[in-house]
Amino acid sequence: MDTGKDAIKTMIGFAETWEDADKIITEFTPCHTTPEKLSYLYGMFDVSILAGCDGPDSDPTETDYRAVLSAIVNMKWR
């Protein structure tokens, strides 16, 4: 992993909220759609979704993205 990727990974990990982490991804990576951002997280962090839990009107990719990003951000408190 190069220094730029390490820096981005660290900034994401230390973000206060998933929204702040999302802004970091948008600003410092070429990923701008939710599927691209989710794939980026899967590649940078050792994470996966076991089973989605969506309502009938929700976007499963968006729900998965928020869940993964929230888990990454909240890991710093463990």
Q: For 33-68, what is each residue's pLDDT tens digit?
A: 999 999 999 999 988 776 666 666 778 889 899 999
Whose tokens are 């463990």? That residue is 78
What pLDDT was estimated at residue 58? 76
pLDDT digits over 14-36, tens only?
999 999 999 999 999 999 999 99
Q: Can you give the pLDDT at residue 48?
A: 78
Q: What is the pLDDT of residue 75?
A: 84
pLDDT at 54: 62
pLDDT of residue 47: 83
Instruction: Give the whole-angstrom CA distance, residue 63 versus residue 47.
Output: 15
* Helical ranges in 15-54 per DSSP H: 18-28, 34-44
Identify which has the larger pLDDT, 2 or 16.
16
Q: Which two tokens stand for residue 15?
A: 């973000």
